[in-house]
Amino acid sequence: MSAPLIAATIAHLMANTESGAVLVFVPGWREIKDVEDELRTRRWSSIDFNDPERFKIVLLHSLFPSGLTEATDPVPEGCRRILIATDIAETSLTFPDIKYVIDSGKRRSPEYDALSSVNKLYRTWVSKASATQRAGRAGRVKSGEYYALFSEQRHRSMAPFRPPEAMTPEAIQRVILRVRLHFPTIPVEKYFSNWLEPPPQLQLDTALRRLQDEDVLTEHGEVTPFGRLVARLGTSPSMARMILLGVVFQCLDPILVIAAMALHNVPLFTHPDSAVAAMQHRNLRLTLSEGARSDHIALLNAYRTMTRRERTHGTDAACDWAAANDVSLIHYKSVSVGARRLSKVLAQYGLIPDHRMDMANLRSENTALLTALICAGLAPNIAAHASSYRFLTKGGLHAEVPHESLLRPQEWRAGTWMPNPLKGTLCVYSGIHQATDPLEGNDFTLLRDVTPVSELAVALFGGPLNVADGDLLVDGWLPLRTSGSDEAVHQIAKFRELWDSALATTFKGLAVGIGSDASREVKREIAALEDVVQAVVSLLDQDERARLERAAALLPRRELESSNVEDTS
């Protein structure tokens, strides 16, 4: 896609016509910004796109909700609107002043790669139906013109309609679980064989194996008590396990919020609309992450801030804070509803008390504990630093920490003499996406929503732990460094074995109580585990203190001294 060509077409229209708004279709956010930059930075004869009295440039993307309001707000007389949009503007929105449509003919097409467990975004040509739909946006209310930036031959080669998107692994797992719950006598393969386009056999086999590994299904395909809880919560098995850990560790509310964010998969933060705003937004998120450099903790604390403001100052104050800090009010409400639903399910099943919620949140402010439980919820999405900004994930895939992630160091640049602060870092992530453009032959693979985690957290919560050649090995691929003896390695492995056994017993007790008045049983199970829980919390706290001491030792002297200056204001 050529941003200069699109910008030149817009400039031509603005110079040779007197009225009417322009709607431009491009594949994604990066292309939206490229076109905007071309308009604002290139010198155009007799046209200044930075003049607010003549032009209003509006960016339309699902991650930028404020653009929807700007797209329909009235503009001063003599001012022309330029809307740069993805396919979000194809069907659901009506803009009465649109007279011209410029179509790049491209879109981002999501596709899941089962072999690499990566969600890929391909930049592809749209279908004929989509091109027709886009053309119809011109002159919806009055006569208009459509400019297709592709040839008639290209149009003839386009697919008639957009192909259906493939199911994600999580969606396949949910369907399999429902089938086993409601139709236990029907083989899973037979159920899917009735579909017009069933998932590939490899994906079905992988989903079944994952459900069995997660103790959702038995070896014979029967639903376990834990599987029934997973079905009721409507989350992934790992997220359901994280929620139960939130009950056991008495930090339930923040864990429910994190689970709701994962379940709804909505971005709480929107994209800042300028470089200055982006820097301010990053500083806000750094503050919200409380030194953890965790995207998840920043999201959690943004949600908490909204909740506190709404409770103490009212809805208007919360809305004002959201608008000032690039927080999506719509997505905040979605997460809030989701967290309340999960809480109600737990209360109905006797897994938490429906009163005295303070008892369920005694450790809710312990950031080290929260990041460890996030590790449990996101496993096996664990990555180890490889080089520069790149991390190695399970299966040998390299992915980069994105620019907006708090984990990505802003003060370090590849190729400089400074040591890389990411060296030795482990992290967990919400997902991987790969943007690919087969026409231009380039692609990039990025981690989404990243949280750094300690080796201790990974050893305790990061998946199956084994001893191989005298080292600890997590999930069959990730070696953990240990400074102790072989005896220390075996002690850690033994502790993990005992810890897993205790958790399994507790989870089984919690899940079996479903459907009955299980409050007393829940209290008994949690009380029986309290000594071990306290030991784990103490280990995590000690590990966090050691990390902070190491980080302080690496600070430049000037920065160290400034951090010790008393605030006398």
Region 119-132 average pLDDT: 84
Region 207-215 average pLDDT: 90
pLDDT value for 569: 32
Structural domains of the chain, with CATH: 3-105+125-157 (3.40.50.300), 169-357 (1.10.3380.30)
* % residues pLDDT > 70 (the chain): 85
* CA gap 147, 103 in Å, rounded: 6
* CA gap 77, 544 in Å, rounded: 59
Region 473-499 average pLDDT: 83
Confidence of residue 354 (pLDDT cuts 50, 70, 90): low
Confidence of residue 437 (pLDDT cuts 50, 70, 90): low
Region 508-518 average pLDDT: 60
User: How many residues in the chain?
Assistant: 569
Residue 125 has φ and ψ, to the nearest 5°, of: -75, 145
Lowest mean pLDDT among 89-93, 103-107, 284-288, 540-544: 89-93
* CA gap 199, 209 in Å, rounded: 15
Q: Which residues of 487-496 are buried (b: 16+ CB within 10 A; e: fewer)?
A: eebeebbebb
Residue 212 class from Cβ within 10 Å (0-12 exposed, 13-18 middle, 19+ buried)? Answer: middle
The whole-chain average pLDDT of the chain stands at 84
* % residues pLDDT > 90 (the chain): 43
| Cβ-contact 376, 474 below 8 angstroms | no
Q: At CB < 8 A and 24+ separation, what contacts does 236-240 make?
A: 236/170, 236/173, 236/262, 237/173, 237/210, 237/211, 238/214, 238/376, 238/377, 238/378, 238/379, 239/263, 239/377
| Cβ-contact 158, 131 below 8 angstroms | yes
pLDDT above 50 for 46:
yes
* CA gap 163, 178 in Å, rounded: 26
pLDDT above 60 for 442:
no
pLDDT value for 392: 95
Using a cut of 0.85, tell me whether the model's pTM lies above it.
no
pLDDT above 90 for 561:
no
Tens digit of each residue's pLDDT (9 = 90 or more) over 178-200: 999 999 999 999 999 988 888 88
pLDDT value for 489: 84
Region 416-429 average pLDDT: 87
pLDDT value for 568: 32
Instruction: Read off the tokens for 492.
Output: 């850690």
Region 90-111 average pLDDT: 81
| Cβ-contact 353, 519 below 8 angstroms | yes
Strand pairing category for 382-387 and 145-148: unpaired
